Amino acid sequence: MLVSIPEVLSKQQLKSVRELLENADYVDGRLSAGKTARKVKKNHELATDSKLHGQLNNIVMNSLFNHPVYQAAVLPHRLATPFYARYEPGEAYGQHVDDPVMGPIQGRYRTDVSTTLFLNEPDEYAGGEIVIQSQIGEQKIKLSAGSAITYPSGSLHKVAEVTKGTRLVAVTWAQSLVRDAEKRELLFNLHKTREALQKKYPDDDEVVKIDHTYINLMRMWAEI
């Protein structure tokens, strides 16, 4: 399930993030890649020891985690510290699947859902689309600054070569409360229906039953 999440970051938040990243120290992005992905990855990422991570995460991760669409679609249980990536002309990330397990030995988490949050506008660079393989073919995605796309971490995907300008993104992963992607999609669709009906018919007995169904499906499928 691909879910686009608009306006995760406000214009002021984007301005603050861009100012922090403007003179940041970047390192070769292959340093954070697995053995297979390292062969097809060509970008730069904010150094892991950068003091900027705390300030950036306070803006980016707080906004993402608290966004109602992200909560409903991902059902996050554990979240990864994001990578802040920069792509210059000639840089790309070839076809790959995200590592199934990430994190330090004492803090491992399963990657169920990947999220790319765009930090600059699509007209600031050429190319750089994230291309995700789905059942209906390739999905090419390039969103406005402050918007995010979530997708199954096990999906085959790539970042097309940037041919002009600079592409800035934050990329993170989540272990979901519901491991199965199809179950997450069912719950997300049911959630949206429940929300709409609760607004329209707040006291209707049938709407209450839908609410109870959602709650009990979560109880049945959640892994904690």
Poorest-pLDDT segment among 17-21, 100-104, 208-212: 100-104
Tokens of 48: 């892991």
Task: State the sign of the Cα–Cα–Cα–Cα dihedral 172, 161, 129, 188.
Answer: negative
Segment 110-124 mean pLDDT: 97
**Cβ–Cβ under 8 Å, residues 80 and 174:** yes
Checking if the pLDDT of 131 tops 80, the result is yes
- CA 129/CA 22 separation, integer angstroms: 22
Name the nearest CA neighbour of 143 among 2, 44, 5: 5
Checking if the pLDDT of 35 tops 90, the result is no
Segment 127-136 mean pLDDT: 92
Under the banding of pLDDT at 50, 70 and 90, the label for residue 43 is very high
**What percent of the chain has pLDDT above 90?**
87
Name the nearest CA neighbour of 54 among 98, 86, 87, 24: 24
Checking if the pLDDT of 37 tops 80, the result is no
Q: Quick one: pLDDT at residue 210?
A: 96
Q: What is the DSSP string of the chain?
A: --EEE--SS-HHHHHHHHHHHHT--EEEGGGGS-TTGGGTEE-EEE-TT-THHHHHHHHHHHHHHT-HHHHHHH-EEEEPPPEEEEE-TT-EEEEE---SEES-GGG-EE--EEEEEE-S-GGGEEE--EEEEETTEEEEE-PPTT-EEEEETTS-EEEPPEEEE-EEEEEEEEEESS--HHHHHHHHHHHHHHHHHHHH-TT-HHHHHHHHHHHHHHHHH---
Under the banding of pLDDT at 50, 70 and 90, the label for residue 120 is very high
- CA 17/CA 119 separation, integer angstroms: 8
**What percent of the chain has pLDDT above 70?**
100
Q: Quick one: pLDDT at residue 106?
A: 84
Phi, psi of 222 (to 5 degrees): -70, 140
Tokens of 42: 């060509």
Checking if the pLDDT of 34 tops 80, the result is no
Over residues 160-178, the pLDDT tens digits come to: 999 999 999 999 999 999 9
Under the banding of pLDDT at 50, 70 and 90, the label for residue 98 is very high
Checking if the pLDDT of 36 tops 80, the result is no
Task: Choose the most confident range, by mean pLDDT, from 98-107, 130-139, 195-204.
Answer: 195-204
The model's pTM is 0.93
